[in-house]
Amino acid sequence: MSQYKLFSRKRFLQTRTLVLEIDKVMPYLLVAPALAYLLFFIGYPLVDGVRLAFFTEDGRFTLENLDYLLNSPLSRFKDALVYTLVITGIVVSIEFVLALLLAFFFNYVRFRGRNAAIYIVVLPLTISDVAAGLIWYSMLTSNGFVNKLLLNLGIISSPIEFFGWQHRNMELLAIIITEIWRSTAIVFIILLAGLQLISRDHIEAAEVFGATPLQRLRYIVFPLLLPSIQVALIIRTLFSLQIFGDVWILAGRDIPVLAGEAYYEQVVLHHTGVAALYALIIAAISMALGLFYIKVFRPKYLEVR
- CA 7 vs. chain centroid, Å, equals 60
Q: What is the reported pLDDT for 108? A: 86
The predicted model scores a pTM of: 0.85
pLDDT digits (tens, 9 = 90+) for 37-62: 888 888 888 899 999 999 988 889 99
The residues of the chain scoring below 50 in pLDDT are 1
Identify the CATH number of the domain defined by range 77-302: 1.10.3720.10
- In the chain, alpha helices (H): 2-38, 44-54, 64-71, 77-108, 114-122, 129-140, 145-152, 168-197, 200-208, 213-216, 222-241, 245-250, 258-263, 272-296
Closest CA to 292 of 233, 241, 252: 233
Q: What is the reported pLDDT for 229? A: 93
Q: What is the reported pLDDT for 138? A: 93
Q: What is the reported pLDDT for 217? A: 84
pLDDT digits (tens, 9 = 90+) for 195-240: 998 888 888 888 888 888 888 888 888 888 999 999 999 999 999 9
CA distances from 59 to 20, 50, 62, 65, 279 (A): 48, 12, 9, 14, 20
Q: What is the reported pLDDT for 25? A: 76
**Residue 61: beta bridge partners?**
55
- 233/31 Cα distance (integer angstroms): 26
